[in-house]
Amino acid sequence: MQNTKQLPFGKHCLFFTLLFCGLSPPVIANEIDDLSYFNTDIPIILSATRLAQPQTEAPATITLIDRQMIKLSGAKAIPELFRLVPGMHVNYFRGNTPTVGYQGLNSQFPQGVQVLVDGRSMYNPLFGGVNWRSFPISIDEIERIEVIRGSNSTSFGSNAFQSVVSITTTHANQTNGVQLKSTVGERGYQRSYLRLGHSFSDVDFRLSASHTDNNGYDNNPDDSRQDMLSARLDYQITPFDSLQINASATNTLVETVNPDPSDFGTIGFDPSDPQRNFDESNFVLHSKWTHLTQTEQQFITQLSFARFKTKDAFSSSFTDPNFGPALINVDYTTAFDRWDFEFEHQLKPSEKTRLTWGLSLRSDRSYLPLWTGTRSKHDNSLQRLFSNLEWRPIKDLIINTGVLLEHSQRIGDDFAPRLAANYLLTPYQSLRFIASESFRSPAITESDIDAELVTHITGGPFQSLSPLVTPIFEYTKGIKPEVVNSFELGYHGLFIDNALTLDLKLYRNEYDRLISDIKCPSCEEGSLAGIPFSQFPSNIGGPIDPPINVRTLLNRHQVNVNGYEIEINYKPNKQNLLHMGYAYNHAKIGHITSGDLETIRASFPSDVFNVLLAHTFDSGLWGSVAFYYTGSLENLDSGQPQGPMRRLDLNTGKTFQVAEGQNVELNLSLQLALDKNKDFLDEFVLDNRAFIEVNYSYQ
């Protein structure tokens, strides 16, 4: 892979031209008291510090995705929306497992992106990251998404390591009536969605159900099927108190197989990873109480319970050329239960300050028999104390300071500070500087891993020597959280009656103690009938060669990443929209062996670009064009080198009123692969797909 040593001259010119334009005085047709954005108010950001702040004053670089952009993008699944975010890249491991990464260090389990739904963390304690395959909400129920393009452990604790995605679902009173949607597409894609909503005085209620079938990539065993049932209740108890309750149940059936069995010679397939179906279930119950006071204070209390389980146990028969007929029983079953409580208090101590503070209590109980070598459940409790202070010493300067203290039963104590300053050049333009430290706690499969496969020889001369024990990973004591020190200089400006926004970001991220696997020379080797492979008796064939390559996990290396990002949004009226984003990354590796050097660097695509252009005609017919580009990359551990990905999406639709209060909307989407784009693995190649959608609604 080509190693870019410095920013190309053309990219320098583009960046500094935009920077010069951004710092020029804004072109404003009319002076107005209330700032507007896309002809409405400047968007209020909730996730940067947990305090509501205008985007010009928020100490973070943020991409906003609202309901209109979701519709115009033509996206059929939530992960697809993140192609609109500068620096984010989306892949599908084995065709049916979405992975969403930011900047780099992406893998089958992207562990740097924290995702919140209505304030509840979706981070998976088993492998880290977020399980988008069984995500418990539908794309139809999203009101808006705030994507913080940068770390933010100060507000959200461990695992808000590279980026934070905060999803807000639609209030139940916005979805009264009936909606029925049906989508069909190439390669067996079918999705049905039904939603019912009603209001009872101070109570609003929504119930929805969906079923999705997807045959995935052409000529690959990556079919999937999903059923989802979800509900939301909003109760306005008093003018100062509101209660939100969300519940969802998701079941997903997934087809999978090791797509490259070349290491298994005459066997012809990987007996530990044959073609099969496995079942995944996800249940969530979440409540959120908000209390306001007449003294500008707000209290938010949340309590949630989640239960997740993957059922993946099977037996595989095969004939080993050395030992004869054999049977392997594999149980990849995993599960966890989570209780999560959070209390937050927002107040205004003085005319120049605002403060939020709170605490979180979490309890996880995890079950991973194969990966941890025991059928006992693993408990982990977590306590957090956090605070963010906004101080305005002078009219145009906003200082944000924050700190988070976290104690984990398995990992110990951690600390995440932040100092940020926003200076308002005008009411419509601001400069921001951010310095912060964030951390990512090791997942169970990193801190407690002890995995082995046991094979029983069922025939031939070695039958009496069963079992054959093959270790895969072995636990290493003392693994520590990963750390990133982030420095950011940014600019946010509004122009042309606030129809145009420009956001620029220069950054440096210094990652340290990054966790990766390494061959373990001192780990316990495999055995046959209890005899270590290296001591195998010579009269039965001598030492087994080659020896088993046992791996272990360590805090191994350090990476410094420099780059910049640009985002432009232009909406002169309700009929036109232009959204464009570009990100450049340059990674410099340290403290790592040369064999892993290119793999780590290759996980950072040097260029990521997106553009969405949409227009709505007077007749109500709308159309959009989206182009996505991700430079060459290689996902860590379980990925293969991929060339640049280029995709062009064409979308169009129109709404027809069939009766009073009843509408039918027809949509057509084309996803065109402009190259033979590999997706994570060589065997999965992006191809063209078409979708037709019919949406009926009655209010």
Nearest to 525 by CA among 536, 538, 515: 536
pLDDT at 139: 96
Q: Is the pLDDT of residue 316 over 70?
A: yes
The string of pLDDT tens digits covering residues 289-312 is 999 998 889 999 999 999 999 999
Helix (H, G, I), strand (E, B) or coil at 20: helix
Percent of the chain with pLDDT over 70: 91
Query: Is residue 153 predicted with pLDDT exceeding 90?
Result: yes
In the chain, domain spans: 9-698
Q: What does the longest C-alpha to C-alpha distance in the chain come to?
A: 93
pLDDT value, residue 249: 97
Whole-angstrom CA distances from 202 to 241, 288, 634 are 11, 16, 52
* Polymer length in residues for the chain: 699
| pLDDT 10s digits, 384-404 | 999 999 999 999 999 999 999
pLDDT at 223: 95
| Comparison of pLDDT for 402 and 543, the residue scoring more | 402
List all residues 6 or more positions away from 50 whose beta carbon is below 8 Å from its beta carbon: 155, 344, 346, 356, 358, 386, 388
Identify the pLDDT of residue 218: 87
The predicted structure's pLDDT at residue 155: 94
Average pLDDT, integer, range 574-589? 93
The conformation of residue 264, written as its DSSP 8-state character, comes to G
Q: What's residue 23's pLDDT?
A: 41
pLDDT digits (tens, 9 = 90+) for 417-444: 999 999 999 999 999 999 999 999 999 9
Distance from chain centroid for Cα 281: 19
Q: How far apart are CA 305 and CA 302, in angstroms?
A: 10
Phi, psi (degrees; rounded to nearest 5) at 328: -120, 130
Contacts of 679 (CB under 8 A, 6+ apart): 91, 92, 95, 217, 642, 645, 685, 686
Q: 490: which 2 tokens?
A: 């940014």
What is the rounded CA–CA span in Å between residue 627 and residue 614? 12
Distance CA 578, CA 77 (A): 21
Residue 321 in this model has a pLDDT that exceeds 50: yes
Confidence at residue 37, expressed as pLDDT on a 0 to 100 scale: 32
pLDDT higher at 143 or 262: 143
**Residue 575: partners with Cβ closer than 8 Å, 6 or more residues away:** 615, 616, 617
The distance from CA 430 to its chain's CA centroid, rounded to whole angstroms, is 29
Which of 548 and 151 is assigned the larger pLDDT? 151
How far is Cα 530 from Cα 553, in angstroms, rounded to an integer? 25
Q: Say what the alpha-carbon torsion angle 425, 427, 431, 435 is, to the nearest 10 degrees.
A: 130
Tokens representing 196 are 């019912």
| pLDDT-derived band at 17, boundaries 50, 70, 90 | very low
Position 25 scores a pLDDT of 39
How far is Cα 581 from Cα 566, in angstroms, rounded to an integer? 6
CA angle 465, 468, 472 (to 5 degrees): 165
Give pLDDT tens digits for 203-233: 999 999 999 999 999 889 999 999 999 999 9
Both ends of the chain: CA-CA distance in Å? Answer: 55
Task: Output the pLDDT for position 323.
Answer: 76
pLDDT reading at 6 higher than 70 = no
pLDDT tens digits along 332-376: 999 999 999 999 999 999 999 999 999 999 999 999 999 998 999
Q: Which amino acid makes up residue 139?
A: I
Reported as a pLDDT band with limits 50, 70 and 90, residue 547 is: low
CA nearest neighbour of 612 among 578, 646, 658, 653: 578
534/540: higher pLDDT: 534
So what's the pLDDT on residue 353? 96
Q: What percent of the chain has pLDDT over 90?
A: 68
Which CATH code fits 9-698? 2.40.170.20
Least confident segment among 7-21, 378-392, 522-536, 676-690: 7-21
The confidence score (pLDDT) of residue 494 equals 94
Q: How many CB atoms lie within 10 A of CB 21?
A: 12
Three-class SS of residue 130?
coil
Mean pLDDT of 658-673: 93
Q: pTM to 2 decimals?
A: 0.90
